[in-house]
Chain A
Amino acid sequence: MAEPLLRVENLKTQFFTDAGTVRAVDGISFEVHEGEIVGLVGESGAGKSVASMSLLRLIESPGEIVGGEITYKGETIFGLEEGPDGDLQRRDDMLSNEEMRTRIRGNEIAVIFQDPMESLNPVFTVGGQLREFIELNRDLAKREAKREAIRMLREVGIPDPEQRYEEYPHQFSGGMRQRVLIAMALACEPSLIIADEPTTALDVTVEGQIIELVDDLQEKYGTSFIWVTHDMGVVAEICDRVNVMYLGEIVEQAPVDDLFHATKHPYTNALLNSMPRPDRTVEELDPIEGVMPEAISPPSGCRFHPRCPDAREVCQRVHPEAKVVDQADGHSHRAACVKHDVFDAGYDESVPLEAEPQVTAGTPGGGEDR
């Protein structure tokens, strides 16, 4: 397989607060290939947004990337090496802050944020903001940048782009603002766009339109996407491959069809069961028990075990790293659950934990109940 566009290896981002160290992202690895839409799924607080901001090195104090390696088109966005005194230090080939700003942010990797209401500056015109980013990232003169901005507004389906160019964000509806943000991302002609829950704040109908728009534009421009979301439905619609995150870790990684039809991790399974579907009534919906623990003091062993219907005694002790559990279409299917044989942790012999799971929750290897 060709060299991936982006490779993340064992990325760790932590926040040093008064209350202690928060391991927001704790050793995640994934790849994004050219033209691919990769999902990053999980509940709020799982570390999805921190992970995506780490890719741009836009983690603000008290947060810091403390380990791992991020490679983009062969260049090192982040990397550590052992210094002469044995301490870890930043590698020489790592891009400087200035290089990150001028060469990577915007023109190579662009972002679409979650909240279209807040992401646009209220005191500048929509066109002015769009033009500024185009000027900056594509080295165009003011007039060309303006023409390009209007073209992009039209491209994302904003009617009367010439007129709306001069208008202010508050004159746009939520969906229209999100289109503007998409126009911004595409206008900079990046190779990768990080979409951080771009449809969460929108109505369902508008959400559908936006997803369709992105799908079309993605095909047209061939841009790769990292799509951050908590919504499995969106994942099913748009993603090629999916990473499921729980408490700073990737617990399952698979092509989208495998993830849905051959689920390998109980957490993914629970996510799928909690999702409303037309073929099931509300009574059949099965919310995940409990709330996600704080990343500041994660549970021992498998981090999901306190909420896991399949948890056994061994899950409290053994912390599983994601391992390849299956292969499909040349892509590996990874999961971090000891119930799979490759872990060989003695799951089958272990005693089940209290808090018996409900009817629908899967038996070992479950998830195929549809």
Chain B
Amino acid sequence: MGLLRYTVARLIQAIPVLIGITVITFILANLAPGDPVRLMLQGQQVDQEVIERVEQQYGLDRPIHERYVTYMANLLQGDLGHSIQRDRPVTDLVVQRAGPTLMLVVSAYAFALITAIPLGILAATRRNEPADHISRIVALLGVSTPSFWIGIMLILVFAIQLGVLPSSGLVYPWWGPDHYGYSGYPELLYQTIRHLLLPMVALGTLQMATLMRVERTQMIESLQGEYVKLARAYGVPERTILRKHAFQVAQLPIITIVGLNLSTALGGAVLIEYVFNINGLGRLLLEAIIGLDYQLIMGITVVIGTMFVIGVIITDISYAYIDPRVTYGDRE
């Protein structure tokens, strides 16, 4: 089928980008002025001998292209290197911390889509009425407010002033109720949601605002389409036109935006994890940077870049699923 072929083609297209990500990260890591080993040791007085030994251990005495080849060879076997700071394989650390970040980003998107689409449609159908103006103000505030500040304000209101929601950490459902000492799965679910609520809103607001704007303009445009005129002329009820004829076409750009904005969301996750003390990839990255843990920094960057690429591929495929023109593109 066309869709399957498209998926494969899309995956193949992603390979150069993935290689590019490793190249860029590798170059960045080797941009650092001065001796990386000395930086890692952070000014501690050590013998030249020790430095040389460490350099040898990490292959730093070899030229950069050789090191890149080794790095790539290891990467293909799933080995992202070794974290000096924690003395553990980077792969282990990254795998362990990817769950919380994914949970946060996915829930933020769910929140954004569930709120943005109905509000955007409402604004489009009530053009220049109060509902439209309100939605525009909300969208404007949403794109103008730093997500971490939204997080801080949410903590101030809901955790500190009202005391109804927790201000830090997440509950990971995959650890099971026993790990937390909960009575069972219902409580686990309840606590998961409770902990997720504030960071989800903080991270999702920007996405919501962006998507709402796009949904509004797309719906307005779609509702002016000839196919809507045709449906009206054939007596299709206005509600069906809105929900089916105009809606489906208007969703196509939304899917694209979701994919592209994934990069802002993954970046924002770093800030939100910091504000809410969530042990995800973002916080791991911050800790790695403070400790100048080169291999860990590179590993996280590569993994986050890969997450973005995969996210874009998923959105591209769902786009192709809704819009038949993509997969059958060149037939006419």
Contact = CB atoms under 8 A, between A and B. Distances in A.
B234 interface: yes
A137 B249 contact: no
A118 B332 contact: no
B194 interface: no
B229 A188 contact: no
Contacts, number: 76
Contacts of A124: 248
Contacts of B248: 121, 123-124
Contacts of B236: 132-133, 136
B328 A58 contact: no
Contacts of B233: 56, 58, 105-106, 110-111, 113
Nearest to A102: B235
A136 B235 contact: yes
Interface string B234-257: 111100000001001100100000
B328 A171 contact: yes
Interface in A106-139: 106-107, 110-111, 113, 115, 118-124, 132-133, 136-137
Contacts of A30: none
Contacts of B230: 111, 113, 119-120, 181, 184
A58 B233 CA distance: 7
Interface string A292-317: 00000000000000000000000000
A353 B296 CA distance: 89
A142 interface: no
B232 interface: yes
Interface stretch (B45-53, B148-156, B176-184, B319-327): B319-327
A58 B229 contact: yes
B227 interface: yes
B1 to A, nearest CB: 13
Contacts of A104: 235
Interface in B195-236: 225-227, 229-236
Contacts of A119: 226-227, 229-230
Interface in B73-109: none
B324 A168 contact: yes
Given A113-B229, A118-B226, A119-B227, A170 B234 contact: no
Contacts of A58: 229, 232-233
B331 interface: yes
Given A113-B226, A119-B230, A123-B248, A106 B322 contact: no
B234 to A, nearest CB: 4
Q: Which of B225, B227, B252, B323 has the most CB of A within 10 A?
A: B227
A173 interface: yes
Nearest to B249: A123
A184 B323 contact: no
Instruction: Tell me the dominant secondary structure on chain B's binding face.
Output: helix
Interface in B275-332: 322-325, 328, 331-332
Contacts of B325: 122, 168, 170
Q: Which of B234, B328, B331 has the most CB of A within 10 A?
A: B234
A72 B210 CA distance: 48
Contacts of B249: 121-123
B323 to A, nearest CB: 6
A105 B237 CA distance: 11
Given A123-B249, A170-B332, A105 B232 contact: yes
A133 B328 CA distance: 25
Nearest to B234: A106
Nearest to B227: A121
Interface string A164-196: 000010110100000001001000100000000
A111 B230 CA distance: 8
B234 A123 contact: no
Contacts of B322: 123
Contacts of A102: 235
Contacts of B225: 118, 121
A122 B245 CA distance: 10
A101 B234 CA distance: 8
A61 B236 CA distance: 19
Nearest to A173: B332
A22 B236 CA distance: 29
A184 B227 CA distance: 13
Contacts of B323: 122-123
Given A122-B323, A123-B323, A106 B332 contact: no
A188 B234 contact: yes
Q: Which 10 A-B pairs have the closest CB atoms?
A: A106-B234, A118-B226, A105-B235, A121-B227, A168-B324, A106-B235, A111-B233, A119-B226, A133-B234, A101-B235
27 contacts: A58-B229, A58-B233, A101-B235, A105-B234, A106-B233, A110-B234, A111-B230, A113-B233, A118-B226, A119-B226, A119-B227, A120-B227, A120-B230, A121-B245, A121-B248, A122-B249, A123-B252, A123-B323, A124-B248, A133-B236, A136-B234, A136-B236, A137-B235, A171-B328, A171-B331, A173-B332, A181-B230
